[in-house]
């Protein structure tokens, strides 16, 4: 009965009041939707969007790392190649004796007569990465033989530096220009632990003074 009365009272209201009541109900429903549905869902959507952004950022980071990894692999391959070349040029000290013998063999093959072959003290580089191993050398032979000898030294795969070059006692023998040549041949070796014998000891015996005769570097 009360409901009927309320309905009758509503029906009896003027049109503008009915419209106002409908507007209030609509606003109340919209407010309830916004408060109980839209705001919580919007916060959830914002959280999901942030999570998606974080995942996308992590994907981009991982992709950059993957690209960098491939680049690092290429760099590592190139560094390994360069290291192999350097190791070929700078042998360990245990192989320097054979390198110096190779140098003396080159002199013999070009027709030079070794008058002096005297290894001197090693000189460690300040960096500690390599050691200089010098040998004082004196040879006698034709000018072209000396030039060919130095040319072959320069073409060795391993580094041998020639310094202090002096040419004296030039004379003609059997229509050939003969020269007495002194120089220092320096081999370079990677540093190794332990004490080793002088690298020149593995080469054939050489005279220890310039007045000695013969002494082939074979």
Q: Average model confidence (pLDDT) for the chain?
A: 75
pLDDT (0 to 100) of residue 198: 42
Contact of 204 with 216, CB cutoff 8 Å? yes
CA gap 200, 185 in Å, rounded: 11
pLDDT (0 to 100) of residue 199: 46
pLDDT (0 to 100) of residue 205: 41
CA distance from start to end of the chain = 134
C-alpha distances out from residue 53 to 12, 62, 78, 198, Å: 58, 14, 37, 67
What are the DSSP calls for 144-203, one per residue? HHHHHHHHHHHTSSS-EEEEEEEEEEEEEETTEEEEEEEEEEEEEEE--SS----GGGGS
pLDDT (0 to 100) of residue 192: 61
Q: CA nearest 160: which of 168, 149, 170?
A: 149
pLDDT (0 to 100) of residue 136: 94
Return the SS3 of 110.
Answer: coil
CA gap 158, 96 in Å, rounded: 10
- The CATH architecture of the domain made up of 93-202 is 2-Layer Sandwich (3.30)
pLDDT (0 to 100) of residue 182: 92
Q: Residue 87 is encoded by which pair of tokens?
A: 């190791």
- Between residues 7 and 34, which one has the greater pLDDT? 34
Is pLDDT at 138 greater than 90 in this prediction? yes
Is pLDDT at 124 greater than 70 in this prediction? yes
Phi, psi of 60 (to 5 degrees): -60, -40
pLDDT (0 to 100) of residue 183: 93
Supply the pTM of this predicted model: 0.50
CA gap 174, 56 in Å, rounded: 87
Q: Residue 133 is encoded by which pair of tokens?
A: 């191993």
Residue 36: which pLDDT band, with cuts at 50, 70 and 90? Answer: low
Residue 101: which pLDDT band, with cuts at 50, 70 and 90? Answer: confident
**Using one digit for the tens of pLDDT, what is the confidence trace for 41-83?**
666 677 777 887 888 888 888 888 888 888 888 888 888 887 7
CA gap 212, 205 in Å, rounded: 12
Is pLDDT at 201 greater than 60 in this prediction? no
Start-end of H helices in the chain? 2-12, 15-33, 39-89, 96-109, 143-154
C-alpha distances out from residue 81 to 77, 78, 187, Å: 6, 5, 22
**Using one digit for the tens of pLDDT, what is the confidence trace for 175-200?**
777 889 999 999 888 866 543 444 44
Taking residues 3-26, report their average pLDDT: 64
Is pLDDT at 215 greater than 50 in this prediction? no
């Amino acid at each position: 009965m009360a409901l009927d009365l309320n309905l009758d009272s509503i029906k009896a209201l003027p049109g503008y009041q009915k419209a106002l009541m409908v507007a209030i109900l609509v606003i109340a429903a919209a407010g309830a939707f916004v408060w109980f549905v839209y705001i919580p869902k919007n916060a959830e959507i914002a959280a999901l969007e942030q999570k998606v952004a974080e995942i996308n950022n992590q994907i981009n980071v991982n992709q950059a790392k993957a690209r960098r990894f491939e680049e690092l692999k290429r760099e590592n391959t190139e560094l390994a190649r360069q290291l192999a070349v350097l190791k070929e040029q700078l042998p360990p000290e245990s192989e320097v004796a054979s390198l110096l013998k190779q140098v003396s063999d080159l002199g013999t093959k070009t027709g030079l007569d070794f008058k002096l072959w005297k290894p001197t003290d090693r000189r460690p580089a300040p960096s500690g990465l390599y050691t200089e191993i010098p040998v004082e050398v004196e040879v006698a032979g034709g000018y072209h033989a000396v030039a060919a000898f130095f040319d072959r030294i320069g073409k060795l795969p391993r580094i041998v530096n020639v310094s202090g070059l002096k040419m004296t006692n030039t004379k003609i023998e059997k229509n050939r220009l003969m020269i007495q040549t002194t120089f220092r041949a320096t081999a370079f070796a990677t540093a190794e632990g332990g004490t080793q014998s002088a690298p020149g000891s593995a080469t054939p015996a050489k005279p220890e003074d310039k007045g000695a005769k013969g002494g082939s570097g074979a």
